[in-house]
Amino acid sequence: MAKGMREIKRSIKSKQSTKQITRAMEMVAAAKLRRAQEAAESARPYADKMKEVIASIAAGTKGVTHPMLQTREIKRTGYLVITSDRGLAGGYNANVLRKVMAVIKEKHKSTSEYAIFVIGRKGRDFFQRRNIPIVEEVTGLPDSPQFSDIKSVAASAVANFENGAYDELYLVYNEFKNAITQIPQVKRLLPLEEVNSDSVANYEYEPSAEGVLEVLLPKYAETLIYSAVLDGKASEFGARMTAMNNATKNATKMIATLTLQYNRARQASITQEISEIVAGANAQS
């Protein structure tokens, strides 16, 4: 009985230590989530303004065309998959990777029909284990990523579409709704959807509309990628905070159950000792 009680007590201490760790991780994730949300929200006005300028140029000038706005026959598809570098975030990575694999299996018969770009160590390792070629990868992003941190993979993904390496490009990431809800999305990035504007602003630009769009459209696509990365970071911290909160609650329940078992075992041990003392006293009388 004493041995069993020691094991229960040791298990209780282990669960208490785990609870302290998960609680601390939950608080850290909550603090990082607030900063990530602010970063994601602050990036949206820039993208919206750029979209407005592009719409005004396209609407105010007839006959303006650009490869990034033109739909062509789909022979090969590009996917830019955004994951995290670390785990302990619930289903954050599994959900988005499951989503992209479902799309790939549905649309493609071989790896020659698609190209993969990856942001995040979890995504890179996932595709490497399945021998799926990766065109370019970025890992080790900071908690508050800057555009310069993902510029290489964003520029490469956009340039490969312009060069005809593939005929469409999709963003695969977790869209942040709130700390509890992150929705895996597969959104077409290129060719860009037709940008319309109800009110056309009168911009002066040179040398030509085509020249301006030549610069703005790639930057706009890269901005959308960066915005998705920020959205993914907020989703990651939200998922980690929720996962650690659940882990803390589970540890609390396990500690309560083990404490009850320990108290019952202790009570049984005391009762047994009393019974033995009474039996010994009766035997001597």
Residues 274 and 142 placed together within one structural domain of the fold: no
Residues 37 and 128 in one domain: yes
Same domain? For 259 and 120 the reply is no
pTM, to two decimals: 0.85
Are 138 and 222 found together in one domain? yes
Residue ending a domain, among 225, 240, 255, is: 240
DSSP H or E segment with residue 5: helix 2-60
Which distant-in-sequence residues (6+ apart) come within 8 Å of 22 by Cβ?
A: 244, 247, 248, 251
Structural domain harbouring 255? 2-24+243-284
**What CATH number is given to the structural domain containing 268?**
1.10.287.80
Are residues 252 and 232 located together in one domain of the fold? no
Pick the closest to residue 168 from 193, 135, 195, 190 (CA basis). Answer: 190
Q: How far apart are CA 240 and CA 232, in angstroms?
A: 12
Listed residues 240, 257, 274: the one ending a domain:
240
Same domain, 190 and 254: no
- Predicted pLDDT at 268: 79
pLDDT in the model for residue 273: 74
State whether 130 and 263 are in the same domain.
Answer: no
Domain co-membership, 55 together with 79: yes
Give the burial string for 131-152 (b: 16+ CB within 10 Å, else e): eeeebbbbeebeeebeeebbee
Number of domains in the chain: 2
The predicted structure's pLDDT at residue 229: 95
Q: Within this chain, do residues 71 and 96 fall inside the same structural domain, yes or no?
A: yes
The pLDDT value recorded for residue 11 is: 92
Answer yes or no: do 74 and 161 share one domain.
yes
- Are 230 and 262 within one domain? no
| Domain boundary residue, one of 223, 240, 257 | 240
Structure tokens at 246: 């659940």
Residues 217 and 251 in one domain: no
What string of pLDDT tens digits covers the 285 residues of the chain?
A: 555 788 988 999 999 999 999 999 999 999 999 999 999 888 888 887 877 777 777 665 666 677 787 888 999 999 999 999 999 999 999 999 999 999 999 999 999 999 999 999 999 999 999 999 999 999 999 999 999 999 999 999 999 998 999 999 999 999 998 888 899 999 999 988 765 555 555 666 677 777 777 888 888 899 999 999 999 999 999 999 999 999 999 999 999 999 999 888 888 777 777 776 777 666 666
- 132: domain CATH number is 3.40.1380.10
2-13 exposure pattern, b = at least 16 Cβ within 10 A, e = fewer: eeebeebeeebe
User: What is the distance between the alpha carbons of residues 29 and 34, in angstroms, rounded to a whole number?
Assistant: 9
